[in-house]
Amino acid sequence: MKVAVFSTCAYDEDFFKQFNTGHELSFFAVPLTDQTVSLTNGFEAVCIFVNDQADAVVLNKLHENGVRLIALRCAGFNNVDLIKSKELGIQVARVPAYSPEAVAEHALALILTLNRKTHKAYNRVREGNFSLERLMGFNLHGRKVAVIGTGNIGKAFCMILKGLGCIISAYDPYPDESLKSLGITYGTLKETLLDADVVSLHCPLNDDTFHLINSETLTLFSKGAMLINTSRGALIDTASVINALKSGQLGYLGMDVYEQEGKLFFRDHSEDVIQDDLITRLISFPNVLITSHQGFFTQEAMEQIATTTFKNIDDFAAGVVLTNSVIGI
């Protein structure tokens, strides 16, 4: 099949060329939008990532251009209008799980870095400053950690926390019985967030979770708590989080995702004046750590993404049922 692969970086090309099962691939560094959808003319499938857009306007044009499959190389599909794609008969498949441990471990890395301030210690020592002033952290052992969402990634994260001796409280509409058997307690969102020392988000973005963390829910945290988001940026109301950081209600913020990341992440803007006032404000805080959606970025995860994506394309080309279909046409 002829496949247009959008939002690609050098590492995407490397892995997709290595694991290609015989398809004709064209790589585009630009994201899929209503401005770039014309590039899909003559292709049977498009492969897109987290910040590509497949809304009704784009889907109509994809349909006109002959595209019959959208192969997401990620787990989330909030950027695809599923109702419209089903109406047009465009199949949508995803990669439901790719090394959930990769994202869970990155969440832990954010927690430990913010807590023990290893990034600041590294810079100090390189400058000959061996002082410990303002580097004090806290023991994670015995602290209450609220885990929002216990799917594959949230479950892997809970298993890590168990080893650290944390008190884990979880919220998920579908509680995991195996986690319950390990002593992890489930409650309502309010019960889970109440007096939490660390809150880590591992849930999908949908109408129910949009701005889940806002001015009201932030007041439930223990004062000076840590918030970690490795899921989707719009789970957090950024303006409310900034206010909570300014007041001290929120003591630390670790983000691997950002609500407006589509205009920034995966690209070098070091020579640009960043026009996004919210993220520039966040960067100015000494207790904020931002990474640019790299939680998934391990050798194992990239291999799984490539192999599963090509399986989805192969199955579609063969006319068999797509195991990883999102809409089940």
First CA to last CA distance, the chain: 19
H helical segments located in the chain: 10-19, 56-64, 82-88, 100-116, 118-126, 152-164, 177-180, 189-193, 215-218, 238-247, 277-284, 299-318
Torsion of CA 245, 251, 257, 260, to 10 degrees: 0
Active site residue 261: yes
Catalytic option among 261, 267, 271, 303:
261
| Alpha carbon separation from 7 to 36, 137, 209, 263 (Å, rounded) | 11, 38, 26, 12
- The total number of residues shown for the chain amounts to 329
* Annotated catalytic residue, options 73, 94, 143, 232: 232
> 290: which 2 tokens?
């931002």
Strand partners for 2: 24
Q: How far is 230 from 233, CA to CA, in rounded Å?
A: 8
User: Rounded to whole angstroms, what are the CA distances from 89 to 48, 63, 77?
Assistant: 18, 8, 17
- Which residue from 290, 302, 226 is spatially nearest to 261, judged by alpha carbons? 290
Give the orientation angle of helix 100-116 with respect to helix 118-126, to 10 degrees: 60
Name, in order, each residue with C-beta under 8 angstroms of 278's C-beta and a sequence gap of 6 or more: 238, 239, 242, 260
Active site residue 64: no
Closest CA to 252 of 220, 222, 291, 288: 288
| Separation of alpha carbons 86 and 95, rounded Å | 19
For the annotated catalytic residues, the residue numbers are: 232, 261
